[in-house]
Amino acid sequence: MRTNKTFGITFTLLSIILLLALAIVMPAEATMVVNKYTNDFTLSSPNNEQLKACSCEMKTDLLIIENVGNFPANYVMEIISPVAEWMTLSEEEFSLAPKHRKELINYVEVPCGEKGVSDYVVRVTSSYGRTEYLHRTLRVDQCQNVVLSVAPKEYTTNLCQPVDYDVRVKNVGTYAETYQLGFGSYDEYMNVTLKEFYLKPGEAYEQTAVLTLPCTFYGEYDIPFYALGSKNNVQDEETVLLIVENQFDHSINVDTEAKLCSQVKQEIAVIVKNEIDIPNDFNVRLRGPGFVDVKDAERTFSLEGDETRVLILEADPKEGQEGEYTLSVEVSSDYGKVMKTRDVQLVVKNCYDFEVELRDIENNVLDGATACCGMREYLLNIRNRGETEETYNIMTDAPSWFRPEELTVRLLPGESTNVRLYADLPCVDASYALPLTVINNRFNEVNETIVFNLNGQTKRSCHMVMINDDEFNMQRDTQVIPLIVEHNGTEGGLYELSIDSQLFTLQETSIEIWPGEKKVIHLETVENLTDHEFGRYISQPLFTYTLENNPLATVTEDIDYNEHVGTNLKDKNLFVKAWEYLAYGVNWCAPGMCGWTTIVFATLLALALITMAVLALMTVKPTVHPASISAFRIILLALVIIVFILLAIVKLPDPATLYEMPEDAAEHFVTVYQDGRVTVDLDPYFTDPDQDVLDYTATQPKDLAVYIDGNEMTLVPDRGFAGENEIVITANDGKGGVEDSPVLSIYVVPMKDMDFMAWWMRFCVQINIFLLLLLLLLTLIMTFMFDERKTAEKKRVYVVIPQHGEYKVTGRKKTSVA
């Protein structure tokens, strides 16, 4: 640029020198020719005045400068604009020869994000100082530079199935751009190779996008696709409709009926098939009896597409669960939530039932047994109550002295057999629980265990006898005392009797008694007891069990049983004798209700007469006003008499409502109410051929006092005692003849346990009548008290006021002082 300027200056100077030389040489008369010269130039552009550009785009504006002058010139070009920094000229300074032109380019590079209209001016200044202006307008917009196209491979899919989309992005702009793919709220479910990529102008990129929705999505969805330019933030988007259908399905195949046997585990097969080609997870749920479950607890499993699995249901019905049941098998899928149900009818029978019983050697059923030590035999009865022939094994976890004769038996349906059990009991008093287990040989789970409770006894315990009532009272005139002997062992026989006593001898020398039996022996008093002091004496009866008397017994030596009987020898004092006479000698109940009613009536009549007489006397007394015998008092007296009569008439409650009378009351020898007494005539129960006067004695039961006076026996239970007791009555004719009654049962009827309200209800009528009587009597007494008060008011006397040793008495009437 600088070289062109130097050349112009030199050329101008040479032209001037040439002209001056010509002027000097040529003659003066020469004619001067004048030509027109200029240094103008022009500035123009072939483009429109308004230059349109896109954000982020490079735009060019063509500028033309032409030297229309006659001289070479130099030019300087510049841009004047608010956005001049966006523009760059291809050349800013240049030279042009006359009649030459030059084309320059204005490069406009619009930043991203800009838009709007701006003015700019192109100014060109020549070396001769001339200036030309070109006014232009720049319009900037955000232009679309991306085209997005989406081609789905399918518009309908199944749950959990992926969907493929062909996605193509093209740069339709004039500059290179980096694009980002987006999918809105489905972005996390979309899988693409590149989500961000770079494209030159006109370049396109195509890839496959795979959409996999969660298995909970079902229905119609609008799937958005968009491509966003990172420079100008312009995007192109497209929405594709996707229909998600629930096409999941599976099948269940199981028999509609299953026949089962109790006590035996059996299996039921359930076939589950995944009917589509997509893997799925399945859950099994059973509804029905509790004895059916999925084997190995396999309630959750997975199946590949079109895969089949056999589930095993394990049924274990117990004994007692026989019958018909409905089992519902539910299989549901995790994907698709499809649930299907199949019902199975279960028929449970006791196919292998059997029964086991313990029996004695005589084939009687046993719950338990008590036996002497030594070898004993029992029976184990096994009965096949099933439907097939079975073999049974017998097992026991007992001591070595206990064993079954056979360990295996085979029985047809309905058949039974007895297996002998041998027990060689040790000679100790002990109880044993001996387990016996019978097991079905084919199905070990079908078994039954029973426990044989066997009580072993020593020889002494086995033959045990004892006296029940070992304490009693007697007087010096007592001749015979019966004692009840009870056998508490398991083997009986003949026992020899003897006694060591100061008061008694035994009538019997031996007694035969068996287990559970009760018998009576008699103690005879010595001839004269007057020499014996009153007090307590101990007698020792002895029972001896010998092998000589019992050849079949298993004892090897004699067994002695020493008993002790306490006897209180005492006499009755005067007070007791008087009390017994009044209590038991006089029959207070003889008059009965009718007699007592007569006595009450007579007593009431006497009281009424006395009352009438008293009233009559009161009417003539000057100190009593006649009005005191009023009609009201007479009515009260009459009512009192009526209530007394009513109280005598009303019956007491029936004892049946106060006592717990047993149903078998008639089976007892005598019944007596609790805290009561009863008297029994003994003559009807004994007969003497010689018509002798019989002397009666009886055993002394516990909790029961026995009083015998002649032929009458009075029974008085201890206060508060109720229950059953036993007594034996002995009749003695005084000539050596003695007869015992059987063991007689005495039952003391207990009083019902009643609260206060129950007692009140039982005696309600009597209590009310008694209260009415008291009320009437109190009312009657108050009327008299009231009249006495009024009489006292009328007879008020004022005393006092001593005056010089004299007393002045004043009242209603005037008095004089003596």
Q: Is the pLDDT of residue 184 over 80?
A: yes
Q: Which residues contact 651 (CB under 8 A, 6 or more apart)?
A: 593
DSSP code at position 35 = -
- Higher-confidence residue of 226 and 798: namely 226
pLDDT digits (tens, 9 = 90+) for 726-756: 888 888 877 777 888 888 888 888 877 665 5
- Distance, CA of 278 to CA of 95 (rounded, Å): 81
Q: What is the mean pLDDT of residues 490-518?
A: 87
Average pLDDT over residues 472-477: 77
Provide the pLDDT for residue 804. 47
pLDDT per residue as tens digits for the range 515-555: 989 988 888 888 777 777 788 888 888 888 887 777 777 77
Model confidence pLDDT, tens digit, residues 50-67: 888 888 888 899 999 999
Instruction: Quote the mean pLDDT of the chain.
Output: 80
Cα(74)–Cα(487) distance, integer angstroms: 160
Residue 188 main-chain phi, psi, to 5 deg? -70, -15
Q: Which residues contact 795 (CB under 8 A, 6 or more apart)?
A: none
Lowest-pLDDT range of 224-233, 389-398, 427-436, 588-597: 588-597
Show the 3-state SS of 698-714: ECCCCCEEEEEECCEEE
Res 48: pLDDT: 87
Assess contact for 215 and 160: CB atoms under 8 A.
Answer: yes
| CATH C-level class of 460-571 | mainly beta
- More confidently predicted of 36 and 441: 441
> b or e along 133-150 (b: 16 or more beta carbons within 10 Å of the residue's beta carbon)?
ebebebebbbbebbebeb
pLDDT at 208 over 50: yes
pLDDT higher than 50, residue 124: yes
Other C-beta atoms closer than 10 Å to the C-beta of 198 total: 13
d(CA 671, CA 678): 8
In eight-state DSSP terms, residue 111 is P
Contacts of 782 (CB under 8 A, 6+ apart): none
Dihedral (Cα; 68, 71, 74, 80), 10-degree rounding: -30
Q: Residues 6 or more apart from 461 whose CB is under 8 A from it?
A: 429, 489
Using CB atoms within 10 Å of the CB of residue 602, give its burial: 0 to 12 exposed, 13 to 18 middle, 19+ buried: exposed
Whole-number pLDDT of residue 180:
93
The answer to whether 696 and 730 are in contact (CB under 8 A) is yes
Residue 633 confidence (pLDDT): 72
| Ranges 156-165, 295-304, 614-623: which has the least confidence | 614-623
Stretch (H or E) spanning 386: none
pLDDT of 619 > 50? The answer is no
Q: Is 50 exceeded by the pLDDT of residue 807? A: no
- 228: tokens are 């966003």
Strand partners, 561: 543
Confidence tier at 452 by pLDDT (50, 70, 90): very high
Cβ of 577: how many Cβ atoms within 10 Å? 12
DSSP readout, 470-498? -EEEE-TT--EEEEEEEE-SS--EEEEEE
- The pLDDT score that the predictor gives to residue 549 is 75
Q: How far apart are CA 154 and CA 219, in angstroms?
A: 15
- Give the tens place of pLDDT for each residue, 304-330: 988 999 999 999 998 888 899 999 999
Q: Exposed, middle or buried by CB within 10 Å (0-12, 13-18, 19+), for 645?
A: middle
Q: For the residues of 196-246, what is the DSSP string, one character each?
A: EEEE-TT-EEEEEEEE---TT--EEEEEEEEEEETTT--EEEEEEEEEEE-
CATH 2.60.40.1080 domain residues, the chain: 655-762
- The pLDDT value given to residue 477: 73
289/216: higher pLDDT = 289
CB 124 within 8 A of CB 132: yes
Q: Which one is predicted more confidently, 223 or 158? A: 223
At the top level of CATH, the class of 2-57+64-137 is: mainly beta
Number of neighbours of residue 33 by Cβ within 10 angstroms: 5
* Domain 655-762 CATH assignment equals 3.40.50.1860: no
Collect all residues with Cβ–Cβ distance below 8 Å to 474 and sequence separation of at least 6. 481, 503, 525, 567, 568, 569
For the structural domain made of 146-245, what CATH number should be given? 2.60.40.10
Q: Which amino acid is at 729?
A: I
CA distance 340 to 328: 10
Coil, strand, or helix at residue 790? Answer: helix
Which amino acid, one-letter code, is at 33?
V
pLDDT digit string (tens) for 369-422?
998 888 899 999 999 998 889 999 999 999 999 999 999 999 999 999 999 999
Comparing 55 with 107, the larger pLDDT belongs to: 107
77 or 619: whose pLDDT is higher? Answer: 77
pLDDT band at 611 (very low <50, low <70, confident <90, very high): low
- CA-to-CA distance for 273 and 333, rounded, in angstroms? 11
* CA–CA dist 189, 213 (Å, integer): 6
**Dist. CA 54–CA 447, nearest whole Å:** 97
Instruction: Name the token pair of 592.
Output: 């009965």
- CATH 2.60.40.10 location in the chain: 2-57+64-137, 146-245, 250-349, 354-457, 460-571
Nearest to 484 by CA among 527, 442, 513: 513
**Which of the pair, 759 or 551, is modelled with greater confidence?**
551
Cα dihedral sign, 355-361-364-365: negative
Domain 354-457 listed as CATH 3.40.50.2300: no
* Rg over CA atoms, the chain: 70
778 φ/ψ sector (left φ>0, alpha ψ -120 to 50, else beta):
alpha
CATH of 250-349, one of 2.60.40.10, 3.55.30.10, 3.40.50.11540, 2.30.38.10: 2.60.40.10
For residues 114 and 4, the model is more confident at 114
Q: What is the separation, in whole angstroms, between the first and last Cα of the chain?
A: 187
Q: Would you say the C-alpha torsion 717, 719, 725, 727 has a positive or negative sign?
A: negative
Residue 673: band (very low, low, confident or very high) from pLDDT cuts 50, 70, 90: confident
